[in-house]
Amino acid sequence: MSNRRRLPVWPLLGATVALIALVLTAGIASAHEHKTVGDYTLTVGFLNEPAIDEQPNGLDFRVAQGTGDNAKPVEGLATTIKAEVKFGGQTMPLTLSPVFNTPGSYKANFIPTAAGSYTFHISGTINDTPVDETFVSGPDTFSDVQDASAMQFPAKVGSVASVNQTAQDAGDTADSARLFGIIGIVVGVLGLIAGIAGIVMARGSQSKVSLAEEHGEMGSTTT
């Protein structure tokens, strides 16, 4: 018989699970951007990442005072901090609300309707510390909004924006065709009127010539 001791399985399994959880947690944390303002650390990203267009999402905003094990969540900022989301040349104010049972965390729900890079602007005060920071999505910060069609399976369905654009283009084409049809009808009617007028004028001229000839013949007969 072998005298080797068998290693207990449960401790090894527990360590493996803990390692996996640590890796996943690190991945989630790295999907947000962190900035230091005075004694505070601001963390910003999307609520759901990867962010997908036309899917419910929002701003994930967290504030802690201090660093490491001494960091303390900062509460009560929903009324002193303002948030905005920007895309292209458009800006929309966001309403922050505390995340239930998660001190120092705030969210603002919205639905991104276009794929691309988004910007969050955070301003106001944290206690007596002024805040005016901009967070831009990208490969080194947090998720850009992805086009939903790239992840659709089995059938790829166009976005609402693309469907609306297709309908708009079809409507514009129909309107153009209708306009050209009306123009064609008007030109045709004008041509018909011109033709009728030409016939009438021609007949009038012919009648005048006939009358003149008749008068000429009558004059010759009298003589």
Q: How far is 91 from 87, CA to CA, in rounded Å?
A: 7
Q: Are residues 130 and 172 in the same domain?
A: no
Q: What b/e sequence results for 191-204 when a residue is b if at least 16 CB atoms lie within 10 Å of its CB, and e otherwise? A: eeeeeeeeeeeeee
Q: How far is 122 from 97, CA to CA, in rounded Å?
A: 14
| pLDDT bucket at 182, cuts 50 / 70 / 90 | confident
Check pLDDT > 60 for residue 192: yes
Q: How many domains does the chain have?
A: 2
Q: Are residues 118 and 204 in the same domain?
A: no
Mean pLDDT for 138-160 is 87
Write down the pLDDT at residue 19: 40
Write down the pLDDT at residue 211: 58
More confidently predicted of 62 and 177: 62
Write down the pLDDT at residue 219: 58
Last residue of a domain, one of 128, 157, 186: 157
Global model pTM greater than 0.75: no
Domain containing 124 equals: 30-157
Write down the pLDDT at residue 156: 80
